[in-house]
Amino acid sequence: MRLPYYVVRSNGSSGTVVPIATATNTAGTPIPVGRAPSAIAITPDGTTAYVANFLSGTVTPIDIATNTAGAPIPVGIYPRAIAVTPIVTQAPTITSAARYTATFGVAFSFTMTASGNPFPTITEAGRLPPGVKFSAHSDGMATISGTPGGCPNGVYRMTLTATNQYGTAVQAFTLTVTRLPTCINSLVSNSQWHES
């Protein structure tokens, strides 16, 4: 996307911003802003220009797509400069441990975390023991929690995937359940246990 140039023009009591099309180097219709505009900054995504209005004590946002001014933002007296913090984007990285040990019959909760900007979403593929569930959150976090039950085989392997618009991270995760119970065949009667 080619962004326009903007020329700040002030006539003392009021002011305008003039957009200039970079493809043709032609001036567009002046955009009214506040009194004595003194500085301008454009957001990194190219959607909005912000104009500091020195005598108005305001900042005027301008929609670059339509070259229309929004409502002025009060900022205090005599703003003479303006800057926009760049948007820092980051592909996901899974930062939590790749293994966890839980105890049969004991409730637990383990938090999985991933960094990235914007926050990545974590998903899981694999098998969990009975009584345990996976829950994804919207802040780069997820949890596995519950009370392991049934007759688990001890080791549960799964794949965690963290995704945002800038990339994907994958982690092989292992959940181990300790103190496994003895799985008793339903055909064995109580009398057989007493006889032993």
The pLDDT of residue 153 = 64
Pick out the chain residues at pLDDT < 70. Answer: 1-14, 151-153, 180-196
Map tokens 């929004």 to a residue.
70
Q: In angstroms, what CA-CA distances link 126 with 97, 155, 160, 170, 184? A: 17, 12, 9, 13, 26
The pLDDT of residue 169 = 97
Q: Phi-psi bin for 75: left (phi > 0), alpha (psi -120 to 50), beta?
A: alpha
Beta bridge partners, 161, equal 123, 170
- The answer to whether 112 and 100 are in contact (CB under 8 A) is no
- The answer to whether 74 and 66 are in contact (CB under 8 A) is no
Determine if the peptide bond prior to 30 is cis (ω within 30°).
Answer: no
Two structure tokens written together for 112:
């999985």
The pLDDT of residue 89 = 82
Domains (range + CATH), the chain = 5-74 (2.40.10), 90-178 (2.60.40.10)
Other beta carbons less than 10 A from residue 122's beta carbon: 25
pTM score: 0.55
The pLDDT of residue 135 = 96
- Residue 180: DSSP 8-state: P
The pLDDT of residue 100 = 96
Element (H, E) at 114: strand 108-117
- The answer to whether 107 and 146 are in contact (CB under 8 A) is yes
Two structure tokens written together for 16:
């305008």
Q: Give the tens place of pLDDT for each residue, 39-67.
A: 899 888 788 999 999 999 999 999 988 99
Terminal Cα distance for the chain, rounded: 82
- The answer to whether 173 and 128 are in contact (CB under 8 A) is no
